[in-house]
């Protein structure tokens, strides 16, 4: 699975990221991490203090990746509405769910302030970034001045995260797509 040039610590982080997305924190055992990483039994404890420390590194990396992906779209070309629409319509593996959003429902993550922090920070950043775009659109006359930018941003994030849940429940991305179309219709200039 990994080439010889990838460090053991890197393999452990990437394996943990994948397992957290697939199984969550509670369902990810150190043994599964080591097997997926192709690492020896003492490797985790050589590079990390234990499963929580390794999970924190993996969650931080996933959160950073999500921010970079979102910023690539939200900071791209177009009007504020077009950038929000591009974010909502960007390519996603809808049936797998959001690797950050799914962690909010994991009891092992929600019970730990340290593990939950990068998740909260990322969702806060996303809401703030979208609110800034809405405010930009208000200044340009694209969005109604009476809109509450923070509430619109919360609705955008809720549409995406709720869309993942509805799509997974139905086994089809159609529910996600319907939520996106509905929100965009409400936001249309």
Q: Rounded mean pLDDT of the chain?
A: 94
Cβ-based neighbour number of residue 98 at 10 Å: 21
Q: Over the stretch 157-188, which tens digit does the pLDDT of each residue have? A: 999 999 999 999 999 999 999 999 999 999 99
Whole-angstrom Cα distance, residue 16 to residue 22?
A: 10
What's the predicted TM-score (pTM) here? 0.91
C-alpha dihedral sign at 104, 106, 110, 112? negative
What CATH number was assigned to the domain covering residues 60-187?
1.10.357.10
Q: Nearest to residue 39, comparing CAs of 77, 89, 1, 66?
A: 1
Report CA Rg, the chain: 19
The proportion of the chain whose per-residue pLDDT surpasses 90, expressed as a percent, equals 90
- The whole-number pLDDT of residue 1 equals 54
C-alpha dihedral sign at 180, 76, 119, 92? positive
Whole-angstrom Cα distance, residue 127 to residue 74?
A: 12
Whole-angstrom Cα distance, residue 55 to residue 12?
A: 10
DSSP letter, residue 93: -
Whole-angstrom Cα distance, residue 46 to residue 4?
A: 19
Q: Over the stretch 114-168, which tens digit does the pLDDT of each residue have? A: 999 999 999 999 999 999 999 999 999 999 999 999 999 999 999 999 999 999 9
Domain parsing of the chain, residue ranges: 60-187
pLDDT band at residue 43 under the 50/70/90 scheme: confident
pLDDT band at residue 4 under the 50/70/90 scheme: low
């Amino acid at each position: 699975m990994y080439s010889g040039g990838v460090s053991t610590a890197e393999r452990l982080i990437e394996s943990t990221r994948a397992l957290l997305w697939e199984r969550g924190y509670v369902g990810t055992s150190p043994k599964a991490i080591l097997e997926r990483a192709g690492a020896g039994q003492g490797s985790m404890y050589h590079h990390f203090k234990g499963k929580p420390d390794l999970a924190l590194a993996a969650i931080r990396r996933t959160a950073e990746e999500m921010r970079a992906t979102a910023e690539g779209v939200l900071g791209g070309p177009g009007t504020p509405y077009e950038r929000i629409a591009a974010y909502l319509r960007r390519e996603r593996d809808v049936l797998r769910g959001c690797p950050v959003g799914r962690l909010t429902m994991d009891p092992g993550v929600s019970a730990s302030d340290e593990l939950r922090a990068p998740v909260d920070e990322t969702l806060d950043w996303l809401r703030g970034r979208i609110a800034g775009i809405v405010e930009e659109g208000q200044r340009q006359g694209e969005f109604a001045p009476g809109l509450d930018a923070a509430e619109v941003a919360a609705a955008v994030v809720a549409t995406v995260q709720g869309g993942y849940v509805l799509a997974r429940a139905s086994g089809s991305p159609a529910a996600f797509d319907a939520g996106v179309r509905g929100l965009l219709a409400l936001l249309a200039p």
